[in-house]
Each structure stands twice: as structure tokens, then as C-alpha cells.
């Protein structure tokens, strides 16, 4: 539809009223949402209808202010959007539904889940689905989206996207914005096989020789200590950066893992009960902590906020073991956020590129090769059982010890002769 100059002028004057797909749309804010939402009035764009849309929007805002939306939401939607064939919110868009779910679930959403929902928005926007009514996301549309995404993303990524978006669809079903959840009838996707040759590279720990070469080239003393401590404790980088001297028991050679850092810089408890653990210190880990103690132990403690689920918080006094510039606590979980530092250190050490998280894997593989009991190791690393240890790290025992089978044969009183 081509808008006349007069219509454009009227729309410009009608704050909160816009043209969208040949009809008029209004924008307003609901009490529980941070951002304004948009709803189509399903009426064509005419000068008379623009005036009607202005009046409708004013009535909507008045009813929100008077409590109609809060006290009788169904009556509110039916009054202002009566053309709904499913319910009073037929035109709620995918984006508005995500925002609504986010607002109503604010007390249980973690920072990582919020990040995921932002990623889902980008995913849907690339396919021009973000502005579509949630009711238009049919099984056919969703299947087509997933198959198309498989062309550029891995199978596991598509499954992850599907799982995240399913939360939104369940929310829409509960609100009766849709009649059924399309994920229940989705076609089974075929797993990728293009990356099978590289599957064993997802876990690529450092050998002791490689670790020594890496530590030798890291030119920042504190980062050097952090890298080595990760390799000899199995801590996650975020757990390391959130560590406080109150969590360290040097006399009894233990670290109490209590918190992690989100990408938004917030301190939070571990995801699982197993993640809240006690790590017994190896001699080299103890040496690193004693070195670090000379740097930060005398720095005054500061008040920090711990963020829990259900929007609960607790303020505590803590002294971080590792501090950033100006002795300020780190605000991110990465070992180093300086561009290319990690990459260049690996190159200088002559090592295959791998993320710093492999330092945690290094701890597991090295202790397994030293004969560590898998169940004990699982507890050290925060796993609920040793299945992950067996599945992921066991393969590296024979990789770094080529004569491992011969050692086993000797223990079994067997010989190749």
C-alpha cells in the first residue's frame, strides 16, 4: 500500500501508531515488561483509521493505568483487539512473546539463559520471523527454519536453539496464544558427519611438556600463575577469578569452590550441588597460591553482591585472590580478555591452538595418567559422577603414554615374548 503525504503526516503526529504490512499497529508498555510491545489493530491505513488508532491507543493506556490489564487481562485484550481468532492476543509477535516470557520468568532466569534468549532473537530475526505473530510459527515453518539453519550451524547448535525456543512456545501455549506446540511434531534431524574426523579434538589437554612451554611464554606474571593454577586444580576460569582468600585453606591444603562469574560480571553459586566442592591442593598449586598471596592478600576486602535465583542477593565481605587493574575484581570469566594474547602465546610456544578451558581438561588427563581414582577426580572437578571422566578424559591416558598397554600387561603378568 502506498501512503499519501497526508497519511504520512498524520502518522508522524500520531505517537505510538505505525504502519505495518498494510495495517495500523500501536505500541504501548505493559507493567511487567521493560520494553514496549507492538500490536496490530488489523485495520487498513486510512486517515480516519489513523484517528481511530490514536483513540484506541489512548484507551489502551488508560485501561492499563486504571488496572484493567492487571486485574482482567482477558477482558483487556478482548476489548482492544476483538478480531482475535485464537484468543485476545492473536497478534502477539514472537519478539513480544520472548520479552513477556523473560519478564515473567525474571526470578528464575540465569545470565546465561538471558544470553541464550538474545541469541534466539538474532536467529529468528535473520529469518524474518521475529516480527511474525507467534501463532504463525507452525510445524512447517519451524521445520524449514531448522533445516535451513543446519546448512551453516552444527546439529548440536540447532538442537540447542530448538530447546531454548521451546521454552517460549510453551509459554505461548500456557497463555493460549497458540493452540499447540509445534515442537511436538518436529521431524528428526540427521546428525552431522562432516566433523566426525575432528570429534576427538574437542578435548585437547596439554601434556606436561606443552604446559611447561606455555607457562614459559606467558609474559604477565599474574596471568602465568592463573594459567598454572587452572592446570593443577581443574578450576573453571570463572571459578578461579571469583576465588577469594576466604575460600582458601592453605593450612589444610584445600580450596572451597563457592562461586563463579557470569559474562555480565555477576558472582553466582555453582549450577549444581556437585559444583560446590572442595579441591585438595597439589604441591604445585600450593606454590602458586603462596606466590599470589604476596601480591593480593594484604589488599583490603570489599563488599560484593552474590546473585541467587528468585532475584535474591547477599552482600559479603571478600578478598579476591586474583585482581585486575587498580586492584579491582575481575568482571569476566575469561583467562585473558586482551585480544590475541592467548593466541600469540600458543604460537610462541609452538602449540596447536585450543581455548584456555583446555587447562581444566589438562588437570583431569594428567591426574588420570598418574592413577587417580576416577570418582575422587570427578568430585574434585565438580561432576556428579565419574561417567564424564570415563567418557571424555579416559582416551588421553593412552595418547600421552604410548607404552601404557605394556605397563598394564606387566601388571597382569603378561608378556609379548
> What is the pLDDT at residue 403?
63
Burial category of 229 from C-beta neighbours within 10 Å (exposed 0-12, middle 13-18, buried 19 and up): buried
Query: Residue 106 and residue 93: Cα distance in Å, rounded?
Result: 20
Which strands form 23-28's sheet, in the order they lie side by side?
17-20, 23-28, 37-44
Contacts 24+ apart (CB under 8 A), 279-283: 279/233, 279/234, 279/235, 279/254, 279/255, 279/380, 280/253, 280/254, 280/380, 281/233, 281/253, 281/254, 281/255, 282/232, 282/233
Least confident of 97-111, 293-307, 353-367: 97-111
Residue 247, C-alpha cell as written in the block: 575460600
Q: Is the pTM above the cut of 0.75?
A: no
3-state secondary structure of 268: strand
Query: What pairs with residue 215 in β-bridges?
Result: none
3-state secondary structure of 260: strand
Residue 255, C-alpha cell as written in the block: 580450596
End-to-end CA distance of the chain: 88
In which band, very low, low, confident or very high, does the pLDDT at 16 lie, cut at 50, 70 and 90? very high
Between 402 and 236, residue with greater pLDDT: 236
Condensed to tens digits (0 to 9), the pLDDT of residues 294-335 reads 999 999 999 999 988 777 889 999 999 999 989 999 988 889
Average of pLDDT values for 173-185? 87
Least confident of 128-132, 232-236, 258-262, 413-417: 413-417
CB atoms within 10 A of CB 13: 10
Least confident of 69-78, 146-155, 248-257: 69-78
Average of pLDDT values for 172-189? 87
CA-based nearest residue to 285, from 231, 323, 249: 231
What is the DSSP pairing of strand 302-307 with strand 313-318? antiparallel
Q: Is the pLDDT of residue 196 over 50?
A: no
> What is the pLDDT at residue 306?
93
Q: What is the DSSP letter of 318?
A: E
Average of pLDDT values for 159-167? 93
> What is the pLDDT at residue 417?
59
* Residues whose CB is less than 8 angstroms from the CB of residue 317 and which lie 6 or more positions away in sequence, other chains included: 301, 302, 303, 304
In which band, very low, low, confident or very high, does the pLDDT at 195 lie, cut at 50, 70 and 90? low
> What is the pLDDT at residue 141?
92
Q: Is the pLDDT of residue 377 over 50?
A: yes
> What is the pLDDT at residue 44?
86
Q: Please, what are the domains in the chain?
A: 5-80 (no CATH), 94-185 (1.10.150), 208-404 (1.10.443.10)
> What is the pLDDT at residue 84?
46
Average of pLDDT values for 356-385? 86
Query: Residue 41 and residue 393: Cα distance in Å, rounded?
Result: 58
CA-based nearest residue to 240, from 222, 252, 213, 217: 222
Highest mean pLDDT among 137-141, 151-155, 368-372: 137-141
Average of pLDDT values for 334-359? 92
> What is the pLDDT at residue 395?
59
3-state secondary structure of 81: coil
Amino acid at each position: 500500500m502506498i501512503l499519501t503525504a497526508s497519511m504520512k503526516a498524520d502518522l508522524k503526529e500520531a505517537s505510538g501508531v505505525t504502519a505495518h504490512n498494510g495495517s495500523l499497529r500501536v505500541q504501548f508498555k505493559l507493567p511487567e515488561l521493560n520494553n514496549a510491545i507492538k500490536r496490530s489493530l488489523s485495520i487498513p491505513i486510512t486517515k480516519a483509521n489513523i484517528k481511530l488508532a490514536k483513540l484506541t491507543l489512548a484507551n489502551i493506556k488508560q485501561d492499563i493505568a486504571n488496572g484493567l490489564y492487571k486485574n482482567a487481562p482477558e477482558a483487556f485484550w478482548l476489548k482492544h483487539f476483538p478480531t482475535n481468532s485464537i484468543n485476545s492476543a492473536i497478534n502477539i509477535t514472537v519478539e513480544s512473546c520472548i520479552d513477556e516470557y523473560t519478564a515473567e520468568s525474571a526470578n528464575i532466569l540465569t545470565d546465561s539463559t538471558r544470553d541464550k534468549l538474545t541469541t534466539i532473537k538474532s536467529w529468528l530475526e535473520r529469518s524474518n520471523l521475529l516480527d511474525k505473530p507467534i501463532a504463525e510459527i507452525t510445524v512447517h515453518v519451524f521445520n524449514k527454519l531448522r533445516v535451513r539453519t543446519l546448512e551453516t550451524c552444527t546439529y548440536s547448535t540447532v538442537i540447542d536453539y530448538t530447546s531454548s525456543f521451546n521454552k517460549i512456545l510453551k509459554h505461548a501455549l500456557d497463555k493460549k496464544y497458540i493452540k499447540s506446540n509445534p515442537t511436538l511434531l518436529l521431524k528428526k534431524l540427521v546428525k552431522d558427519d562432516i566433523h566426525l574426523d575432528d570429534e576427538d579434538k574437542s578435548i585437547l589437554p596439554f601434556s606436561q611438556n606443552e604446559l611447561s612451554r606455555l607457562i614459559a611464554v606467558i609474559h604477565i606474571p599474574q596471568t602465568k600463575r592463573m594459567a598454572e593454577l587452572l592446570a593443577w586444580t581443574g578450576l573453571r576460569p570463572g571459578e578461579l577469578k571469583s576465588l577469594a582468600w576466604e575460600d582458601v585453606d592453605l593450612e589444610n591444603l584445600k580450596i572451597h569452590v563457592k562461586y563463579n562469574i557470569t559474562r555480565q560480571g555477576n558472582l553466582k553459586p555453582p549450577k549444581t550441588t556437585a559444583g560446590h566442592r572442595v579441591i585438595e591442593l597439589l604441591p604445585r598449586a600450593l606454590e602458586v597460591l603462596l606466590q599470589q598471596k604476596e601480591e593480593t592478600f594484604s589488599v583490603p576486602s570489599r563488599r560484593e553482591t552474590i546473585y541467587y535465583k528468585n532475584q535474591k542477593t547477599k552482600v559479603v565481605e571478600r578478598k579476591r585472590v586474583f585482581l585486575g587493574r587498580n586492584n579491582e575484581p575481575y568482571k569476566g570469566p575469561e583467562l585473558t580478555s586482551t585480544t590475541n594474547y592467548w593466541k600469540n602465546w600458543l604460537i610462541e610456544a609452538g602449540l596447536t591452538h585450543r581455548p584456555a578451558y583446555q587447562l581444566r581438561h589438562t588437570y583431569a588427563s594428567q591426574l588420570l595418567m598418574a592413577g587417580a581414582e576416577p570418582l575422587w577426580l570427578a568430585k574434585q572437578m565438580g561432576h556428579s559422577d565419574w561417567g564424564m571422566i570415563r567418557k571424555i578424559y579416559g582416551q588421553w591416558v593412552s595418547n600421552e603414554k604410548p607404552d601404557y598397554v605394556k605397563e598394564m600387561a606387566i601388571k597382569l603378568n603378561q608378556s609379548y615374548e
